[in-house]
Structure 1
Amino acid sequence: MAATAMAASMTLTLTGCGSGSGDGDVTLKLIAADYGDSEANGSQHYWDELSRAFEKKNPGIKVDVQVYSWKDVDKKVEDLVKDGHAPDLAQIGAYADYAAKGKLYSADQLLSIPTQANFQPSLAEAGEYQRVQYGMPFGASTRRLFYNKKLFAQAGITAPPQSWSDIAHDAQLLKARGVKMPYALPLGPEETQAETLMWMLSGGGSYTDSIGKYRIDSPENIKTFDWLKDNLVGKGLTGADPAKLNRADAFQSFADGDVGMLNGHPTLMKQAAAKGIDYGTVELPGIDGKAKTTMGVADWMMAFKQNGHRAEAGKFLDFVYSDQNVEKFSGDYGLLPVTTSATQDMLADDKYAKFHGFLKQLGNAEFYPANKTSWPLVSKTVKAKMGAAVDPQGNPAGVLTDIQNTADEADNTTG
């Protein structure tokens, strides 16, 4: 890989600007997702400022960035590619299907060696399709358990939970104190696949085994969701029907002071602090103690071959992934940096102390099986079915087996 990357780097140096166009100036088109929660802090502002700085240093290359909501951005890119108008760059949620169809440049065809080597190893590996990196991580997060310190104190709870039995015990005390949602369990259609994976990991399972084969209906996963059904949902400790509770609503309820504890990512810190919530975070509780690992999530940057602007796209991406720009994006939007050097800078800065627990987990975090082209369908199926599995009358084993069958069929069809 090093030899390939060096060859690619030399090619970039030799060809220079305009290599893919045959004439002078080139305009790169980038479709990006919006991480802001209002017009004032939308991602368009970040990209406009970054693009102007890049264009000033590289007068032969223009960058046209269009930002879409997460609800629309993946579909926008999909439609453009289907219509034969692929953007040069896309910063979206999944890359594997485009890589499988041969539509993307690999990372070593685009990036300088120092840039590619600087990605967090766990993130770089998560961006590989058939052992070649096509997805370049852009924005990452890990998950921790958030708890409301005031509500815990009022319920007489002196320490955050470290095991499932602690969660159940503390939730009972919170309920007795009148807390609306002792434990918020968002298994509604918005982001069910995330909450599902967090609980799988805390129970010693996952979506896949060590060689990447789906193991959704494993004994560990069945035990996990049986426990949730019997010990949290069945005892009225979630305060809402998990199948109807979306992650955004659960976060808002935590910020409103109505939730005792829930699994969350770094952006919840800003949301809770804005409402004056005194909160703490701890590693995800497991069956008998802290979970061995947590969930990591990365969004992806990718470069399409169609327009032939490999050299220009690579030059722009080297700029995007400079420490200054990575740290600014992470700081602006409450996400974890995706490069090793920016991570080290953040860990050394007390200003980011509340991020340190999330950052330290990133190297060992487990990600969605986004390198499988079957994953989008499996994720969609999980969103549709997992909430009902933990209903007091639900059947976790039946639901997990049903999803496993869908996953096997999709895997056999798409690879």
Structure 2
Amino acid sequence: MTGLTAAVTALGMAAALAACTGPGSDDVTLKLVAADYGDSPANSSQKYWDRLAAAFEKKNPGIKVDVSVYSWSDVDAKVKKLVADGHAPDMAQIGAYSDYAARGKLYSADDLLSIPVQSDFLPQLADAGDVARVQYGMPFAASTRLLFYNKALFAKAALTPPRTWAELQADAKVLKARGVKIPYALPLGKEEAQAETMMWMLSGGSGYTDDVGDYSLDSPQNVKTFDWLKNDLVGEGLTGPTPPGELDRAAAFAAFTRGDVGMLNGHPTLMRMAAKKGVSFGMVPMPGVDGPARSTMGVADWMTAFRQNGHKEQVGKFLDFVYSEKNVLDFSREYDLLPVTHSASDAMSGDPRDQKLSKFLDALPNSQLYPVGKTSWAQVSAGIKREIGTAVGPHGNPGATLGSLQRAADRAENAE
């Protein structure tokens, strides 16, 4: 009996082990860290991701998705620490990717996505996700910039929206004469100076890089642009009481929603902010030297997938789901952002519900993005935030400031 008992016991243990290693034992939990696009608890991105994860899990019972959402001021640092501590998430939806790609920590889009999904990305956004001609950054959300103007202030002054720098200056002078506190808001403070800088560089016919991708911060066109800003806009007292180098984008947006600003550059979120405050506004392309700027600034945020946990197949399934037309549209509509795929963009362009975003959509094909594929960009961008405001100050020298930034950019690039 002892032998039989042992045999039965052994069989029981084997059965128990089989139960433990049966269906469900190979379940995978994917960790995703994402940024919060909401402006209140009611529309936190956590709610979007929780709904999306639940829908995905229902279709893929062997895969769970655990999403942690952080504010934009914290999310990049959170992911950086997780990676440094050896606990990289499976995916991170963040603002930059090139440093992780350069260190070999990321899966490429080719590793993960089905061909139909990868080919659906808008080309200029997909290209911006490349490092050494391999796509590691998958665009997740996009926006462009337009010149916003206060319709009520313009109507009272019998003004029309500007198409050129000269017209912008003339409108600003009239608004100043009529007592408008900030005729044109020029936020060159540390929060997002690199954005306002790039918009003006593009309107002047240049940008951060030249045609072959080298930094060109001190190009003749850029020096001319900042000479004009210093002398013809700031020097004429048309940018309000706060020095541009001390004015952050958030403060400029808030002033616009109070009715204190005549004109400023803005992205789609400003539409909702202004509408909530009852400010009537219009939007036009950024003025250029002789007419509307031929290109505007585009911005993309990025989805990345880390190699550390080795869940390539499961991550690929989830991202194929994330980038379906329906899910891209749902996210874009929830947060007034532009779709990153052809299919969702085409659907939005043809839907009357999305007409408020039509001008931003129209600007996207000709937009230019930050040079995020350069691992030096984070360092260069930080330098711009620190220094560019001094270029338009009373003792500023645009050529000298841009030259200093160019030399720093060259050093950062050569150090790679």
Question: Under a length normalisation based on structure 1, what TM-score does the superposition of the two structures give?
Answer: 0.93
* Paired position in structure 2 for 1:222: 223
Specify the code of the residue in structure 2 equivalent to 1:335: L
Q: Secondary structure at the match of 2:41?
A: coil
Give the distance between the partners of 1:349 and 1:144, measured in 2 at CA: 21
Would the aligned equivalents of 1:230 and 1:392 in 2 still touch at CA under 8 Å? no
- Give CA deviations for 1:36-57 in whole Å, capped at 9, x if unaligned: 1111111111111111111111
Letter in 2 for 1:348: G
Please tell me the root mean square deviation across aligned C-alpha atoms, in Å.
0.9
Aligned to 1:148: 150
1:78 deviates by: 0.7
Cα offset for 1:360?
1.3
Q: Which residue of 1 aligns with 2:245?
A: 243
How big is each residue's C-alpha offset from its partner over 1:289-315, in whole Å with a ceiling of 9 and x where there is no partner?
011100000000010000000000000
**Deviation (angstroms), 1:351:** 1.5
1:12-71 C-alpha deviation (Å, 9 max, x unpaired):
xxxxxxxxxx96100000010011111111111111111111111111000010011111
- Tell me the secondary structure at the aligned position of residue 27 of structure 1: strand
Give the aligned residue type for 1:312: Q
Which of the two has higher C-alpha Rg?
2
Q: Aligned AA for 1:101? A: R
1:106-135 CA distance string (max 9 Å, x none): 101101111001011111011111111110
Tell me the secondary structure at the aligned position of residue 290 of structure 1.
coil
Q: Does 1:295 align with 2:297?
A: yes
The offset of 1:144, in angstroms, is 0.6
Structure 1 unaligned blocks of 5 or more: 1-21
Partners of 2:74 and 2:262 lie apart in 1 by: 32
After TM superposition, the structure 1 = structure 2 runs for residues 23-102 of structure 1, keeping only pairs within 5 Å, are: 24-102=26-104
Is 1:174 the counterpart of 2:175? The answer is: yes
Q: Secondary structure at the match of 1:32?
A: strand
1:232 partner amino acid = L
Q: Equivalent residue of 2:51, what SS?
A: helix
CA contact (8 A) 1:188 1:247 kept: yes
Question: Counterparts of 2:253 and 2:324 in 1: how far apart (Å)?
Answer: 32
Retained in 2: the 8 A contact 1:154–1:177?
A: no
For 1:4, the equivalent position in structure 2 comes to none
Do the aligned partners of 1:32 and 1:65 also contact (CA within 8 Å) in 2?
yes
Q: After superposition, where does 1:187-198 map in structure 2 within 5 Å? A: 187-198=188-199
SS at 2:340's partner residue?
Answer: coil
Provide Cα deviations, 1:347-402, integer angstroms capped at 9, x if missing partner.
10112112111101111110000000000000000000011111122111111111
d(CA) in 1 for partners of 2:30 and 2:326? Answer: 22
Give, as a single letter, the amino acid of the residue that structure 1 aligns with 2:327. Answer: N
Specify the alignment match of 1:200 in structure 2.
201
How many angstroms apart in 2 are the aligned matches of 1:310 and 1:123?
23
Unpaired runs of at least 5, structure 2: 1-23
Equivalent residue, structure 2, for 1:3: none
Give the SS at the match of 2:381. Answer: helix
Q: Tell me what 1:333 maps to.
A: 335
- Alignment check: 8 A CA contact 1:186 1:195 kept: yes
| Runs of at least 4 residues off by over 6 Å | none
The aligned residue for residue 272 of structure 2 is 270
What amino acid is the match of 1:161?
P
